[in-house]
Amino acid sequence: MTEPAMTENSFCRRCLYSIDHPLGLVLDEEGICSGCRIHEEKDRLDWNARWTQLESVVRPYRSRDGRNYDCIVPVTGANDSYYIVHLVKERLKLNPLLVTYNKYFNTELGIRNLANLRIRFDCDILTQNVNPVSVRKITGTTLRQFGSVYWHCLAGQSVFPVQTAVRYRVPLVIWGAHQGLEQVGMFSHEHEVQMTRRYRKDHDLMGVEAGDLPSVFDTLTEEDVWQYRYPDDGSLQAVGVVGIYLGNYVRWDPKTQHELMMSTHQYRTGRFARTFDCYDHVDCFNYMNLHDQLKLYKRGYSKVTDHACREIRHGRLTRDQGLALVRYYEQRPAENLDLFCEWLGVTPSSLAFLMDLHRNPQYWRETAPGRWEFKGWSSASGAAAAPLEDVRSCEFTATGKVDTRERRSYIVIGKGYPT
Partner 1 sequence: MLKKRLVGVITVRDGWAVQSFGYRRYLPLGHPEKLAENLDRWGADEILVLCIDRTRRNVGPDFDLLRRLGSLGLSTPLAFGGGIRTVAEAGAIIQSGAERVCIDAALRDAGVVGGISALVGAQAIIGVLPLSFDGAGLQRLDYLSGRSTPLTAADLSLFDRRVVSEALIVDWRHEGMTAAFDFNLIRRFPAPDVPLIAFGGVSEADQLKMLFDDDRVAAVGIGNSLSYREHAVQMLKRQAGGTSIRAARFVSDSR
Q: Whose Cβ is closer to partner 1: residue 244's or residue 282's? A: 244
Decide whether 196 or 404 has the Cβ nearer to partner 1: 196
Is residue 88 packed enough to be buried (19+ CB in 10 Å), middle (13-18) or exposed (0-12)? Answer: buried
Closest CA to 87 of 274, 228, 250, 238: 250
5: Cα within 13 Å, side-chain hemisphere: 2
Q: Is 60 in the site for partner 1 (CB under 8 A)?
A: no
Looking at beta carbons only, is 44 or 405 nearer to partner 1?
44
Question: Rule CB under 8 A: is residue 230 a binding residue for partner 1?
Answer: yes
- Determine, following the binding rule CB under 8 A, whether residue 218 of this chain makes contact with partner 1: no
Is residue 153 within the footprint of partner 1 (CB under 8 A)? no
Give Cα separations from 249 to 20, 54, 196, 360 (angstroms).
29, 6, 18, 38
Distance CA 415, CA 393 (A): 38
23 versus 260: smaller Cβ distance to partner 1: 23
* 3-state helix vs strand vs coil in the chain, percent to 5: 45, 10, 45
To partner 1, the closest distance from the beta carbon of 211 in angstroms equals 7
| Residue 41 or 356 having the CB closest to partner 1 | 41
Q: How many residues does the chain have?
A: 419
The residues near 172 (Cβ < 8 Å, ≥ 6 apart) are 58, 61, 70, 71, 72, 165, 242, 244
Q: Are 156 and 130 contacting, i.e. CB atoms less than 8 angstroms apart?
A: yes
Task: Name the segment binding partner 1 (CB under 8 A); options: 21-29, 128-136, 279-287, 361-369.
Answer: 21-29
Binding mask 156-195 for partner 1 (x = CB under 8 A): ------------------------x---xxxxx--xxxxx
Q: Specify the residue, 114 or 236, whose C-beta has the smaller distance to partner 1.
A: 236
DSSP state of 204: I
Is residue 199 close enough to count as binding partner 1 by CB under 8 A?
yes
Contact by Cβ (8 Å): 344, 104: no
Instruction: Answer yes or no whether residue 384 interacts with partner 1 by CB under 8 A.
Output: no
Q: Write down the least CB distance from residue 160 to partner 1, Å.
A: 16
**Smallest distance from partner 1 to CB 109, Å:** 34
- Comparing CB distances to partner 1, the nearer of 34 and 76 is 34
The answer to whether residue 236 forms part of the interface with partner 1 (CB under 8 A) is: yes
| Residue 90 binding partner 1, by CB under 8 A | no
Told to check if 38 binds partner 1 by CB under 8 A, we report: yes
Least distance (Å) from partner 1 to the CB of residue 166? 12
* 197 touches partner 1 by CB under 8 A: yes
Among 44, 64, 198, 415, binds partner 1 (CB under 8 A): 198
Contact predicate 125/100, CB 8 Å: yes
DSSP letter string over 307-357? HHHHHHHTTSS-HHHHHHHHHHHTTSPPS-HHHHHHHHT--HHHHHHHHHH
- Considering the rule CB under 8 A, would residue 2 count as an interface residue with partner 1? yes
The residues pairing with 123 across neighbouring beta strands, listed in sequence order, are none
What 8-state DSSP symbol labels residue 371? E
Query: Phi first, then psi: what are they for 323, rounded to 5°?
Result: -65, -35
186 vs 288 by CB, closer to partner 1:
186
User: Rounded to 5 degrees, what angle do the CA atoms 219, 167, 417 make?
Assistant: 80
- Residue 233 binds partner 1 (CB under 8 A): yes
Using rule CB under 8 A, residue 211 touches partner 1? yes
Which residue(s) pair with 173 in the sheet?
Answer: 72, 243
Pick the stretch among 22-30, 62-70, 104-112, 347-355 that binds partner 1 (CB under 8 A): 22-30
Which of residues 13 and 271 has its CB atom nearest to partner 1 in the complex?
Answer: 13
Residues forming the site for partner 1 (CB under 8 A): 1-2, 19, 23-26, 28, 34, 38, 180, 184-188, 191-199, 201-203, 207, 211, 229-237, 241-243
